Amino acid sequence: MLTLIPISIVLGVAMLWLFGRTSNQRAIQTAKRRLQACLYEMRLFADEPSLVWKAQIGLLTANASYLGLMLVPAAIVTIPMIAVFAHLEAFYGMAPLTPGRDALVTMQLSKLDPTAALPTLTAPPQIAVETPPVRVLSDRQVWWRIRANSPVSGTLHFGTLEGVIDKKVEAGSGMHYLSDRRVRGLLDLVLHPAESRLPAGNIEWIEIRYPSATISWLGLEWHWLIWLLLFSMLSALCFRRYLRVTF
């Protein structure tokens, strides 16, 4: 938590600055003033149905204008944040495999021939491979069940017709930069950046089902994204006057 708080503050200020540089601040202020004016009209002329109806139309128009002005900067801010969030999820969002508990390993294939030889899985001594490969034709997947017997930071080796493919595995306790899925596609790498891309071939991705992790602080146990949104929003509210940004 001590590392997530400054990260949240920096991200909040960075998003605020980027929003201010990519948005039409004068137009946003004008739209907000129109919204307030329409609300005042509805209260002042509550006994005049025609004026209330006119104010409601103006309120909807101003609200649509305000939302339209927010869309472009919000989209620009969101794009780099997706990559940042993927890295944070790899560190804060998952826990290593718990010794004594099993986990599922999945290999996604582009094509799965029911008559072809199945891939093999070789694990470090601390990891037991409890089942042979299970072919799931409908999903073009191959499954294994593994169990961590003791803490380890190692590599799973998959023997395929295309050669040996590696996948990192972590078991134990504490925070680690975890790779739940090793992917082949370049766009998929944005969401799963913790490990290098798979080589070109029939394998689309290999995944280890790590348990989810939460962060406890002040008696509250929440997902890291809730903590990050909370502190980043607070920092944005605190710095918006200093950076002269309205939203």
Task: Encode the chain (247 residues) as per-residue pLDDT tens digits.
Answer: 668 888 888 998 999 899 888 988 888 888 888 888 888 888 887 777 777 788 888 888 888 888 888 898 888 888 888 889 999 999 999 999 999 999 999 999 999 888 888 999 999 999 999 999 999 998 999 999 999 999 999 999 999 888 999 999 999 988 889 999 999 998 899 999 999 999 988 999 999 999 999 888 888 888 999 999 999 999 988 898 888 888 8
Structure tokens at 225: 């994204």
Instruction: To the nearest 10°, report the CA torsion of 126, 132, 134, 140.
Output: 70
User: Can you give the pTM of this predicted structure?
Assistant: 0.82
Inter-helix orientation angle 49-92/224-243, to 10°: 120
What are the residue ranges spanned by the domains of the chain? Answer: 4-93+216-243, 102-208
Instruction: Give CA torsion, residues 137, 138, 140, 146, to 10 deg.
Output: -70
3-class SS at 181? Answer: strand
What distance in Å separates the CA atoms of residue 122 and residue 214, rounded to the nearest whole number?
31
Straight-line distance from the first to the last Cα atom of the chain, in angstroms, rounded to the nearest whole number: 28
- How far apart CA 153 and CA 176 sit, in angstroms, is 10
β-bridge partners, 129? 146
Give pLDDT, residue 123.
95
Report residue 243 as tokens: 């950076």
Q: CA torsion 189→11→30→24, rounded to 10°?
A: -50
pLDDT of residue 89: 93
pLDDT at 79: 86
Inter-residue contact 146 to 128 (CB < 8 Å): yes
pLDDT of residue 2: 67
